[in-house]
Structure 1
């Protein structure tokens, strides 16, 4: 349904312009200021490349970028190396408890990465349980999980579930007759896996790898907690900006600009490669699970169970330690108590928990409204303006949270848009960051609704607007709400932008977990983490209830 030649300026054109203005204010304007500040001397106001050249001239800075690449590439590769075989085994072999395993994998994914980092510190930190056992019992000199290996471990275990979710969905649409034909020609299981299965799901592997890559390279909490001397770009941006808030912030802006360019280039490269391998397939004969025996059965179960245990272990650790007695909130003294929960629920202001829910819900409302409108405009009302809108709406996907937070402070600290420090700016940062996912899911839903349904309503006398409100929105709503619940889970887990934008009045659960860990108050951190984890699990159960599914598909 394209815009007609007559009456070109109508309700839909007006909505498109309003949404474009919204994105101009909250995306284009802040990013423009970042670029401007990166090339304007804060003392003289003159144009300069000093800040950008400073990054490349000093080894300390550009090595940090290399560190980010190393962590991201290795974590993405390992995530694929783990997620791909698990997805294949779960679709090919009858694994006992497969439904529970799938739920545990999803739970491990929806938990924030920095909580995993904090949990692994308790296990493999210098004073961790496993570290103490190695050093005291086995006589080793293990110094802990810190540095490159620790960051990679945490991010890999937290990211492979996303690979699993994507590939598991792709394997559903795989026509198994190709696999059987290869078997009849004498191909072994391993040969069929590498020569038939993998080539057929290359587009899915690339798409999921991009999501993991973008998520890992932008992660702030994990390297900040366990990186120590191994710094990554998000940590460098944060430390440079926080130390320069009262003075020259040009270098922080230059770091943001460089990071945006890097992520944009990587995103475009992936899109080009994915387009090259793009094709579709219908599962005329879907892959079915078969009961396995012998060593193959043992190895399959062992690999799946061990990996899932490691992935879910951080959540189990924080829940368990949240009930342990502590001395001053820092040292576990043994025994169980509810003291940690008493501290955060009664000893402190409940605003931290209430802020998370209130601001999260407000962000989700914005995401739903804009997601539906943008998806409808870009699919049903496609023209030059809506195409521009479609492109701009994807910008937040490639903007790291720390960069968005700094950009918002640049843009909204002075009148007439002096919103920094308010709940409003926190809500907008949540909504902007997570909106692309809901837009994509809503776009897919609209694509499944035949235009003839709208045409029938219009032929019966309904206006386009009434048809949209009365017909399209109700048909879209089940899928949109399911997507909104998954967006909600990521919103309440947001840290990288929140840690820059928050004040005492707008502090959230994720910020509280981070600050309590930094202060060494592990008991309180565990209690906050447990509340956040349980909220995510309950949200996931609501997702299953609304959709009637027992798994998450993307």
Structure 2
């Protein structure tokens, strides 16, 4: 009897823990099923319906994969995806190598600009390059006065340029971290055997950091093919699957959007194929280092040093161009949509007088979504890290789906799912908040999971063994320790939430328009001053979040990848 008495509280604690976390797990699964699995299942289902009869058919996919109009869009999508990925690698890998292996003056500035370029919306870059290299852009006019006619920024080249300068930070940040962590003995051995630095890089160094390079490259590819704003703004007659899906869905409104859905599923298939291809390549070989005898940075001298610094600073300048152009044009005086050539704050006055609800919507929706993300990610990360079960692993894997599903696809799924009573959310602010929440939830989960793995389970187990309920032990003991990671995740989620365009463009109404939506429409209407003012507000908001992340993260750049 004396032996059984001490174990009774422990059994009660275990039962309470089981009950509490089982309830949390069930709630998380319910949220994921309703907001992610159900909309995507609806998209998949509608893709097999005949829009006129409602019967099962494969004609939608056959048409998308055989009709010249759609095949051309598919080829264009693959072209800009591959071009954006290649451009990101050609910029990111050399920049990472130079910064990791040499004493490059202004290394912190390079990383900061790269992060700021990463968190700024892609369509802002497209809009900025139009102001510079468009038919009446500043650089275009300057060269035209000299008798030189520059090629048009519109079309394939312009889209790839924007994607390369937007997404190279993924490759740079991941590769730079990997280069600093490999054993330099391999490269020293190659040099002793007579390998030139170039041959040593391709034969030794690049294979060792290939997982990091390929991860950044895949992210650049997936985000390039999923992006809607850039090809819509700068593409003109250059059609991609994302712009076709949007146009097709709006054309099929009131009926069954079978063709738009079929296009969307093709986009998902491309993204998933790219991810699985990368995993297949990595699985064929082992890429490992000992994390000892780490590289030592070398000083730069002579022409080589000048060339390295010139390359690094050129990348910084090109990456910063959109931000500088946006800010500069936002403080130019305007007369309606026309710049007067003088400085002034008329664009900001128009925002204040005409669009206060748009700015308010952006902050309100993003804040509401981030509050939900912060709460959900804290519990989900605990389940994923602490409960090492198959169900928790599946939940973690499913939460990666929003990374590869284009925003247009998610928007179509939401429109198909939540358009009838009792959950008719079309035209409401709540549907905007929900889609931003589920699309950006992985950012919060990844951030909180990473810091939770550094916390020993024995800390909270001690609290439970002393009689504290599991919920109280989690909130009072674990959450305070996780707080830096939670805040970082919230800031990253806020950055992406307030800049969201593709998933909200199909779901908004006049009363729920946000700044990215208004920027997109303003650029199409030639209201460049208004677009610049709104873009500056977005960039400043993102910059403040980046500053907070930098202050709270041990690895500044690592927090963003």
Q: TM-score, normalised by structure 2?
A: 0.93
2: CA distance between counterparts of 1:505 and 1:387?
A: 40
Partner of 2:299: 291
Counterpart check, 1:120 vs 2:126: no
| 1:328 Cα offset (Å) | 1.9
- Contact kept in structure 1, 2:46 and 2:256, CA below 8 Å: no
Partner of 1:66: 75
Partner of 1:344: 351
Counterpart check, 1:467 vs 2:473: yes
- Contact kept in structure 2, 1:108 and 1:158, CA below 8 Å: yes
2: CA distance between counterparts of 1:107 and 1:133?
A: 28
1: CA distance between counterparts of 2:155 and 2:504?
A: 24
1: CA distance between counterparts of 2:452 and 2:287?
A: 21
Counterpart check, 1:335 vs 2:335: no
Partner of 2:244: 236
Partner of 2:8: none
1: CA distance between counterparts of 2:66 and 2:198?
A: 48
| Secondary structure of the corresponding residue to residue 333 of structure 1 | strand
| 1:517 Cα offset (Å) | 0.5
| Secondary structure of the corresponding residue to residue 326 of structure 1 | strand
1: CA distance between counterparts of 2:548 and 2:206?
A: 34
Partner of 2:4: none
Deviates more, 1:544-553 or 1:260-269: 544-553
Deviation sequence 1:426-453 (CA, Å, 0-9, x none): 1111111111232223222222222333
| Secondary structure of the corresponding residue to residue 339 of structure 2 | strand
Partner of 1:268: 276
1: CA distance between counterparts of 2:227 and 2:408?
A: 9
- Contact kept in structure 1, 2:381 and 2:452, CA below 8 Å: yes
Partner of 1:255: 263
Deviation sequence 1:307-327 (CA, Å, 0-9, x none): 110111011011101111223
Counterpart check, 1:488 vs 2:494: yes
1: CA distance between counterparts of 2:17 and 2:437?
A: 30
| Secondary structure of the corresponding residue to residue 510 of structure 2 | coil
Match of 1:201 among 205, 209, 213: 209
| 1:297 Cα offset (Å) | 0.4
Unpaired runs of 5+ residues, structure 2, are: 1-12
Please give the root-mean-square deviation of Cα atoms over the aligned residues, in Å. 2.0
Deviates more, 1:524-533 or 1:450-459: 450-459
- Contact kept in structure 1, 2:208 and 2:288, CA below 8 Å: no
| 1:87 Cα offset (Å) | 0.9
- Contact kept in structure 2, 1:202 and 1:277, CA below 8 Å: no
Partner of 1:536: 542
- Contact kept in structure 2, 1:92 and 1:289, CA below 8 Å: yes
2: CA distance between counterparts of 1:385 and 1:273?
A: 27
Unpaired runs of 5+ residues, structure 1, are: none
Partner of 1:162: 170
Counterpart check, 1:80 vs 2:84: no
Counterpart check, 1:176 vs 2:184: yes
Partner of 2:367: 361
| 1:125 Cα offset (Å) | 0.5
Partner of 1:448: 454
Cα pair distance change 1:484/1:281, threshold 3 Å: farther
User: What are the equivalent positions in structure 2 for 1:345-424 lying under 5 Å apart?
Assistant: 345-346=352-353, 348-424=354-430
| Secondary structure of the corresponding residue to residue 10 of structure 1 | helix
Deviation sequence 1:478-525 (CA, Å, 0-9, x none): 122112212211111111011111111111111111111011111101
Q: TM-score, normalised by structure 1?
A: 0.94
Deviates more, 1:445-454 or 1:317-326: 445-454
Partner of 2:63: 54
2: CA distance between counterparts of 1:263 and 1:551?
A: 25
| Secondary structure of the corresponding residue to residue 340 of structure 2 | strand
| 1:278 Cα offset (Å) | 5.6
- Contact kept in structure 1, 2:447 and 2:488, CA below 8 Å: no
Partner of 2:10: none
- Contact kept in structure 2, 1:99 and 1:550, CA below 8 Å: no
| Secondary structure of the corresponding residue to residue 498 of structure 1 | coil
Deviation sequence 1:15-38 (CA, Å, 0-9, x none): 111111111111111112112211
2: CA distance between counterparts of 1:156 and 1:518?
A: 23
2: CA distance between counterparts of 1:204 and 1:382?
A: 26
- Contact kept in structure 2, 1:39 and 1:51, CA below 8 Å: yes
Cα pair distance change 1:374/1:103, threshold 3 Å: same
Partner of 2:24: 15
2: CA distance between counterparts of 1:95 and 1:68?
A: 36
Deviation sequence 1:155-192 (CA, Å, 0-9, x none): 00011011111112212322223333333333332222
1: CA distance between counterparts of 2:394 and 2:312?
A: 44
1: CA distance between counterparts of 2:550 and 2:391?
A: 37
Counterpart check, 1:110 vs 2:116: no
| Secondary structure of the corresponding residue to residue 505 of structure 2 | helix
Cα pair distance change 1:547/1:388, threshold 3 Å: closer
Deviation sequence 1:234-262 (CA, Å, 0-9, x none): 00001111122133422112212222222
1: CA distance between counterparts of 2:287 and 2:36?
A: 33
How many residues align? The count is 548
1: CA distance between counterparts of 2:200 and 2:394?
A: 43
Partner of 1:131: 140
